[in-house]
Chains A and B, each alone.
Chain A
Amino acid sequence: MKRSEFPSLGFGVGLRRPHYGEILETRPAMDWFEAIAENFMVAGGRPLEVIDGVREHYPVVMHGVSLSIGSTDPLNRVYLRDLAALARRLEPAWISDHLCWTGVGGRNLHDLLPLPHTEEAIHHVARRIREVQDLLGRRILIENISSYLTYADSRLTEWEFLTAVADEADCAILLDINNIYVNAFNHRFDAHRYIDAVPAQRVAQFHLAGHADHGSYLLDTHDHPVRPEVWELYEYAVGRLGAVSTLIEWDDDIPEFAVLAATAGEARERAARVLGTTLAAAGAIGAASRIEPVR
């Protein structure tokens, strides 16, 4: 897989309902938007009007939450058909979902459940990712999730598992820096080792978000600003992996759009500082894609 297959889009934010009107009416400066695919997998009405309007003026990436790539249920053909139809409509820069399962036995938990880090799970998931990629006619990105439990079956570290799945499926990786931080605390590993170990050429996007501290565990809530420790880890990731497309996620207690835009701006400044250069804002994103990581 070549890095150039996923050029840097720059610094974007997740498209969220409270901001729809403002984005469509004022067209704020923003490199790109990430749309939750399921929010727009509807027959018609306002959601499609919104996403068409956004797509007209910005690069858009589709981020799914319901693929359930790790489930032992068969892949949901209707869901995949609808996902492919939305992709034809939006022509997104890429499509991503999570390395997880969301339900079993025909039931949906509407949550991102972790997988055991086993050979069985690697082969199972990789085979299904290949099937989805064949169906969509493009490589997808899989994202590392936050988790709150460890399976007794697991024999590999999370980064070994993620790497093995991505290599066997020949897919790209959406590296969520906050999820690495959360899991490093919850499962007591060194977050830097994780970032050192992921296959650099597969990392096509970063996620940044806030989490909540529950004392005995960290919860990935997306309802806080990005924490300083996560910003530090982001800088470390940029140092190793370069100017990867970066996206700010905020899903609860969503602030004004300007706060999200400022957070994307902070990511840009921090990445530029690490790389010892400036990263141009929207309109000149071609320049950012040519910046090579500092090794």
Chain B
Amino acid sequence: MDKEQDDGVGLRRIQEILYRLIVAPDGVAKGLAQQEVTMPAGGLAALIAGDDRMTAAERVEIYANGYFFRLLDVLKEDYPATLAVVGADAFHNLATGYLIEYPPTAPSIYHAGSKFADYLGTHPLRARWPYVADLARLERATLESFHAADAPALDAGALRAMAPARWPTLALRAHPATRLVESGWRVDEVARAVADGARAGATIATPAPAGASVAIVVWRRDTRVAYRAAERGEDEALRLVLAAGGASAGSTLAAICEAIAARVDPADDLPALINRMLARWLADGLLTGIEH
């Protein structure tokens, strides 16, 4: 108590109290009234000076509003399709709940929305929009791909230069910007409809997506991010390549071919399918480097 009188409230305590008041979900005044924050003797006045223009609580409220609306804007920008599906009002409430459960911790605001799909995955709104968490996961994957590390795309020429006999043991590595998003709904079609609508400046219609198991490939080529539904067999092949990552060697071409063979119709022309798939991966830059 004596210390408080000599030195005031002190820097640490000021910051802890102010933080709690700024993020209080129902505003500063309610945050104070509900005693969510242990205040120093003398209450808020011992911390912040009010005047004839504004009370101390109103001054903190400026920061509280700034906090919420700044992060709401970030979430809206990061998740435009999710926003289009649920609408502005529901999205506003989702943002409120999300920030309580997952308050930002990273220095960069890019990370503020990184757990939004996880939050949606357990939210009651799933009853109405069961696919919305997957849609948000796809939107996050495109953002991650946009900022992912640079790496040279595997060149088709390098592959062709190698004797075909060595191909089966080649280890393929995914490019750092390549992602695979799996869903029980065609959320890629929803995302595309929203993006096309935004580009055309049209009202965005978001029909409920078809319920179909899909693996969506997300990749980056020349700094542009794209996505599409994987072909049958291709999803398992990409899963293998992506699982390899890190320090471990990539998945071998032989293992990839086996995985595809196990998934496709025996009547399909397997070599043609694998050729087409590899050619597309190389053209799109889904792979980087090979080890042999």
Q: Which residue of B lies closest to A44 (CB)?
A: B150
Contact A44-B14, Cβ < 8 Å, known A107-B103, A110-B70, A152-B45: no
Q: In the complex, are the beta carbons of A106 and B8 less than 8 A apart?
A: no
Contact A44-B148, Cβ < 8 Å, known A49-B223, A72-B15: yes
Contact A104-B66, Cβ < 8 Å, known A42-B110, A44-B148: no
Q: In the complex, are the beta carbons of A44 and B67 less than 8 A apart?
A: no
Is B263 at the interface (CB under 8 A from chain A)?
no
Q: Contacts of B148 on A, CB cut-off 8 Å?
A: 43-45
Q: Contacts of A108 on B, CB cut-off 8 Å?
A: 103-107, 112
Q: In the complex, are the beta carbons of A124 and B11 less than 8 A apart?
A: yes
Q: Contacts of A44 on B, CB cut-off 8 Å?
A: 147-151, 176-177
Contact A118-B147, Cβ < 8 Å, known A108-B107, A152-B47: no
Q: In the complex, are the beta carbons of A101 and B15 less than 8 A apart?
A: yes
Q: Please, how many angstroms separate the alpha-carbon atoms of A200 and B108 in the complex?
A: 33
Identify which of B12, B59, B146 contacts A45 (C-beta below 8 A). B146
Q: Contacts of B151 on A, CB cut-off 8 Å?
A: 44
Is B2 at the interface (CB under 8 A from chain A)?
no
Q: In the complex, are the beta carbons of B67 and A110 less than 8 A apart?
A: yes
Q: Please, how many angstroms separate the alpha-carbon atoms of A38 and B106 in the complex?
A: 11
Q: Please, how many angstroms separate the alpha-carbon atoms of A113 and B70 in the complex?
A: 14
Q: Which residue of B lies closest to A101 (CB)?
A: B15
Total chain B interface residues with beta-carbon distance under 8 A: 49
Q: In the complex, are the beta carbons of A152 and B147 less than 8 A apart?
A: no
Identify which of A47, A49, A66, A152 contacts B49 (C-beta below 8 A). A152
**A interface residue count range (under 10 / 10 to 19 / 20 to 34 / 35 or more):** 35 or more
- Looking at the complex, which of B16-24, B179-187, B192-200, B273-281 is the stretch in contact with chain A? B16-24
Q: In the complex, are the beta carbons of B105 and A107 less than 8 A apart?
A: yes
Q: Which residue of A lies closest to B7 (CB)?
A: A120
Q: In the complex, are the beta carbons of A110 and B71 less than 8 A apart?
A: yes
- Looking at the complex, which of A143-151, A161-169, A255-263 is the stretch in contact with chain B? A143-151
Is B10 at the interface (CB under 8 A from chain A)?
yes
Contact A149-B56, Cβ < 8 Å, known A42-B147, A103-B19: yes
List 20 other contacts, CB 8 Å, given A104-B19, A109-B63, A153-B10.
A38-B108, A42-B147, A43-B176, A44-B177, A45-B146, A45-B148, A66-B107, A68-B107, A76-B107, A101-B15, A104-B15, A107-B19, A111-B63, A113-B15, A113-B18, A121-B11, A149-B60, A150-B49, A152-B49, A153-B7
**5 interchain pairs, CB-CB under 8 A:** A44-B150, A44-B151, A104-B16, A111-B22, A151-B48
Which 10 A-B pairs have CB atoms at the shortest separation, nearest pair first?
A153-B8, A44-B150, A66-B107, A43-B149, A149-B59, A46-B223, A104-B15, A42-B147, A72-B12, A44-B149
